[in-house]
Amino acid sequence: MRGKLARTVLRGEGSSNGFLLPSRNGDLILSQSSATALLAPVAADMRAVDAVIRRRLSSEVPLVEQIGEYIISAGGKRLRPVILLLSARAFGYEGHRHHELAAVVEFIHTATLLHDDVVDESELRRGRQTANAVFGNAASVLVGDFLYSRAFQMMVDAGSMRIMEILSNATNVIAEGEVLQLLNMHDPDVTVERYLQVIRYKTAKLFEASAQLGAVLAGADAAMEEAAAEYGRRIGTAFQLIDDMLDYTASAEQMGKNAGDDLREGKPTLPLLHLLEHGTAEQRELARDAIVQGGTEHFDAVFSAIHASGALEVTFAAARHEAEAAERAAMQFPDSPLKNTLIELCAFSLQRQS
């Protein structure tokens, strides 16, 4: 029955300790085939979006197309465009403009990835070298700028001030989130509230805009538009909390990026913040030094302390709280198979290992 998977995972059924926590070398909890089946209702739409993406990557400058194709072809879950497509269909939209807007969302997301990897000096994403590692920092930043500007061209083509308002506001908030995260780096005094603010700005905002745009396209009323925005905001937050947990649980092969990247960057995520607040005196000192100094020299010690302190359980519980809130928001949508898929995505946000 549709929705049963979400209810089972969100309540922690099927596990002895009340939550499903992946091991560092464990098997995928949700297989690729399961994810494909879950997203089958918008498979044709996603093929149309892929066609739009490749058409809109066209440029007279060969390097733009080369780098754009490099990062787009790396794949990924594409959850933001998927959520836009599902939201539009769930609210009864029957046109084709959602394909263009889903491509806009993916371009904005891809631009942030190009810029992020330069700022973070990352070398691995989606299981292969980052664009900056292959083409250099300057080229990656400039192609990121191209994708942003191309996204804004496509927004104008939509011919809706409301759509432009949502996407331009989202893009601005994401940029603010990037700066907030930069300020938090190597700062052991970051609060959980400041950490969550970065998540809501930097990650959850584009999820929020994606779900909201689907409702706007379908002409949903203000209450439903807000419910869609709440759904996106909450599931996006859950997604990032799990991502931060995976930095201390999953392998590089599973994540598609190097384990311990957050620690190397001196990024104070919830597992480390919990250790700072609730660990032993020795663990607190270890966490503080790890955030201030960065690097992975003491990764094994930090990894062990995080596992021993219950920090991963706390992080998972926080993600589950957000996913439950997303599910409650989606329950307000009109009844349809697409609504059920959006609800099941709440479970997917908790189960993923990449």
**What is 106-160 written as a DSSP string?**
HHHHHHHHHHHHHHHT--EETTEE-HHHHH-HHHHHHHHHHHHHHHHHHHHHHT-
Which residue in this structure is represented by tokens 């779900």? 211
Instruction: Count how many residues are written for the chain.
Output: 354
pLDDT of the residue at 131: 80
In this prediction, residues 120-146 reach a mean pLDDT of: 79
Share of the chain above pLDDT 90, in %: 61
The band of 314, judged by pLDDT with boundaries at 50, 70 and 90, is: very high
Distance CA 346, CA 354 (A): 15
Closest by Cα among 183, 185, 184, 177 to 205: 177
DSSP H helices, 218-269, are 222-246, 252-255, 261-264
Confidence check: pLDDT of 295 > 90? no
Mean pLDDT of 88-116: 93
User: Residues 35-84: pLDDT tens digits?
Assistant: 778 888 999 999 999 999 999 988 889 888 888 888 777 766 789 999 99
- What are the CA-CA distances from residue 126 to residues 3, 4, 53, 344, 354 (Å)? 29, 30, 18, 24, 8
Residue type for position 34 = S
Q: Model pTM?
A: 0.87
Could you give the CA distance from residue 294 to residue 261 in angstroms, rounded to a whole number? 9
- To which H or E segment does residue 349 belong? helix 337-351
| Stretch 145-163: mean pLDDT | 92
> Residue 192's pLDDT is what?
96
Dump pLDDT digits (tens) for 215-273.
999 999 999 999 999 999 999 999 999 999 998 885 545 444 556 778 888 999 999 99
Q: What is the pLDDT of residue 130?
A: 81
pLDDT at 257: 52
Distance (Å, whole) CA 213 – CA 229? 8
Evaluate if residue 12 carries a pLDDT over 50.
Answer: no
The per-residue pLDDT for 241 is: 97
| CA–CA separation, 45 and 82 (whole Å) | 9
CATH number of 4-351: 1.10.600.10
Per domain, the residue ranges of the chain are 4-351
Backbone angles phi, psi at 252, to 5 degrees: -60, -35
Higher local confidence (pLDDT), 210 or 248? 210
Average pLDDT, the chain: 85
What's the mean pLDDT in 272-283?
94
Q: Please give the residue that has the higher pLDDT: either 18 or 270.
A: 270
Tokens of 336: 């349809």
What is the rounded average pLDDT of the residues 200-223? 97
Give the gyration radius of the chain's Cα atoms. Answer: 20
